Structure formats: structure tokens, C-alpha cells
Amino acid sequence: DGCRLLEKIRKQTIAKSMLKDDHIFYKVVARIAHPDPKVGRKLVSFFDGVTEYSLGAFTTSKTGCQRLFVYRSLREASSCPLPHSSCLKPTSWQHSRLEPSSTNQRKAVAVILLVAGIGQPEYHGHGKFSFPTLLPLAVLANSNWKPESRWKC
């Protein structure tokens, strides 16, 4: 459809003008226990609970959503609201402890990743960008996720 194409081109043009050559961003993900206790923990998407993030490994979406969302600054990422349709839901803002929306899922803790955006960026407003692929570079050890209080579950 012509309107969708024009909107996509607009988002890409804005993103290019804002980013230039810098594609380093921040992403909030869930740290959960891996099904294999020998492995320890894994990092997954709050949104779908399936897309896994591993340091140094390229990540693409494992669900119908073709783009992965990130924030331009640590401040924006640390206060970002989760989508209402997220598989994992917050139960306590203070400790970043999260409880999944269904009983067969595991509890998770919010952590912030430093990531490189790969591919064509799109800008979605309020410091939020999306890419078709991300490359996780590091887990930010002392960063706290404190979503804005105006967001309600």
C-alpha cells in the first residue's frame, strides 16, 4: 500500500539524519533461568519471551514482528514502558522483578544490553528506533530499569 511505503521511507529518512554512522543503542531484555540448569540463565525479549539475545551473536526476531526495538540513550532505555502485549509483565518496579503473564512461564529480571543496530534503521519517536537485526555487545552491570510511573499494567 502506498501510504505504508511512504511512512516507512519517512521513518528511515528521519533515522538516517539522526544517526549518521552511529548505531550503538540500549535494549531492555529479560534474564530468565535456562531450561537446562547446566547452562544457567539466558536473555530473552520481554515482548515475545522467545527471541534470545547472546553476546556477540546476531539476533533477529523469532516471531511475526520483523523489527527489534532499541533506545538511543541509557536514560530512555532505563525508563521505557513495556508494550501492553508483552509476554512478561512487571509486578514490582523497585526490584525490576518481573512475573510472566501465564503460569507456565518463568520469572525474569530486567537487564539492559548495549547493542549495535544492523541494517536499515527506523525512528519511532521518543528516542526509540528499530532494526531488522541487533548485535548484543555487553550487559550493563549496574544499570537499573525503572519504567515511568505513568505506565500501568
* pLDDT, tens only, 30-40: 888 777 777 67
Three-point CA angle 57, 110, 93, nearest 5°:
165
Q: Which pLDDT score, from 0 to 100, does residue 19 have?
A: 57
Q: Which pLDDT score, from 0 to 100, does residue 32 have?
A: 82
Residues whose CB is less than 8 angstroms from the CB of residue 92 and which lie 6 or more positions away in sequence, other chains included: none
Contact 86, 98 (CB under 8 A): no
Whole-prediction pTM: 0.72
pLDDT tens across 45-102, in order? 888 888 999 999 999 977 666 899 999 999 899 888 877 777 775 543 334 444 444 4
